[in-house]
Structure 1
Amino acid sequence: MESNNIDKHIIQKYKDDENLMIRLFVQWCANHELDPQALYQKAYPEQPANLALLEVIESDEGFDEFHIDNETMLEVLQLFGNEDLAFTVAEEIQRLEK
């Protein structure tokens, strides 16, 4: 029984961390006046709309005054295994720096 609670806690912690990663991505996009849905679709064209991403975009829980630097954003995406999205973000960073 206790193992089940630990499993639930681990799963919830991962979901919370994943939600934070999505919020950081949405805020990074806002900092650079980019559409997070468009970038996500560019990175993952075969996938349907990401419901967690849509929920974060529609919520009012953004980090209005919070600036996420480019390197941190790339590291967070890679930490969660979002290599394709990290690559797409890196392309946008290069485009923005020109």
Structure 2
Amino acid sequence: MNEKQLAEAYERDENMMILVFAQWCVNQDLDPLELYAKAYPQQRLNESLKKTVEELIVPKNESEHIPDQTVIAVLEMFGNIDLAQAVHEVIAGRKQ
């Protein structure tokens, strides 16, 4: 695999991570852009996340269930520790 193929594979995987996160948010009645902004207040809007929300997200009732642990694992795998922490907080708040 050459560098270009590696970069494309990483980008594809990163886009899948964004989709999993955004769809999980919608399934939890959360705004993915809002939760991202909470996790990364110093960053401007993530264009990939915005595009995913606008183009790829399906309504909650049309989506497969995404387990909490899946979204956390995918976020952590890509180094989005702050976002994984924000998801943890939502889950903890939901269980109270």
Q: Same fold (TM over 0.5)?
A: yes
Residue 65 of structure 1: how far off its partner (Å):
2.2
Number of residue pairs matched by the alignment: 93
SS of corresponding position for 2:30: coil
In the TM superposition, residue 49 of structure 1 has moved relative to its aligned partner by 0.1
Q: Which of 9, 14, 35 does residue 13 from structure 1 map onto?
A: 9
CA RMSD in angstroms, aligned pairs only: 1.2
Structure 2 alignment gaps of length 5 or more? none
Aligned to 2:83: 85
**Greater C-alpha Rg:** 1
Runs of at least 4 residues of structure 1 off by over 3 A?
none
What residue number does 1:96 align with?
A: 94
Matched-pair contact (CA < 8 Å) for 1:27–1:67: no
With normalisation by structure 2, the TM-score equals 0.92
Note the alpha carbon deviations across 1:63-89, whole angstroms, 9 max, x for none.
Answer: 532111101111110000000000000
Instruction: Name the residue aligned to 1:45.
Output: 41
CA distance in 1, matches of 2:95, 2:13: 29
What is the percentage of aligned positions where both structures have the same residue? 42
In structure 2, what is the Cα distance between the partners aligned to 1:29 and 1:56? 12
Counterpart-to-counterpart distance in 2, 1:24 and 1:12: 18
Gaps of 5+ in 1: none
Letter in 2 for 1:12: E
2:72 matches 1:74: yes
The 8 Å contact of residues 23 and 57 in structure 2, kept in 1 or not, is answered as yes
